[in-house]
C-alpha cells in the first residue's frame, strides 16, 4: 500500500489529460471524416456515390441527386473520394447524435 501513495499524490495535484467536453471542444483535424455534405448544384447524377457506398446509406431522389442516411452511414468518405465533380465533401461536423431518426437524412 505505501508504494502507491506517491503516485496518488502526484495525480491528485496534476492537470487532467482530458477535455471537459462539451464545455471545451477540440477542433477536428483538417480532412476529418465527419458528416458528408452534398452540393446538389455540382452533382451530375452519375450515381457513383450510390454504387460505391459500403453500407448502402445513399439513395437517390427523383432528380437522381444523393440523399445520405446518416443513421446508416459509416463515414468512410468513399462517396466523397468517388465523386468526379467533388459534389460530396467531408465536413468537420462530428456531433451528430439525434433524438429523432427522421432528422438523420442529409439532402
What does pTM read for this prediction? 0.73
- The alpha carbon of 35 is separated from its chain's Cα centroid by a whole number of angstroms, namely 4
Domains delineated in the chain: 28-106 (3.30.70.3270)
| Chain segment 38-62, per-residue pLDDT in tens | 999 999 999 999 999 999 999 999 9
Q: In angstroms, rounded to a whole number, what is the distance separating the alpha carbons of residues 76 and 52?
A: 11
* Residues 84 and 92 sit within 8 Å (Cβ to Cβ): no
* Residues 95 and 78 sit within 8 Å (Cβ to Cβ): no
Q: Burial, 75: exposed, middle or buried (Cβ in 10 Å; 0-12, 13-18, 19+)? A: middle
| Chain segment 50-103, per-residue pLDDT in tens | 999 999 999 999 999 999 999 999 999 999 999 999 999 988 888 888 888 888
* Residues 90 and 36 sit within 8 Å (Cβ to Cβ): yes
Q: In angstroms, rounded to a whole number, what is the distance separating the alpha carbons of residues 89 and 38?
A: 7
Amino acid at each position: 500500500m505505501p508504494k502507491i501513495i506517491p503516485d496518488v499524490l502526484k495525480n491528485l495535484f496534476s492537470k487532467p489529460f482530458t477535455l471537459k467536453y462539451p464545455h471545451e471542444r477540440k477542433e477536428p483535424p483538417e480532412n476529418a471524416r465527419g458528416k458528408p455534405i452534398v452540393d446538389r448544384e455540382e452533382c451530375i447524377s452519375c450515381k457513383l456515390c450510390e454504387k460505391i457506398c459500403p453500407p448502402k446509406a445513399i439513395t437517390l431522389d427523383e432528380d437522381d441527386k444523393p440523399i445520405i442516411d446518416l443513421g446508416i452511414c459509416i463515414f468512410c468518405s468513399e462517396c466523397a473520394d468517388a465523386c468526379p465533380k467533388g459534389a460530396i465533401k467531408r465536413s468537420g461536423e462530428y456531433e451528430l447524435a439525434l433524438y429523432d431518426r427522421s432528422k438523420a437524412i442529409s439532402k
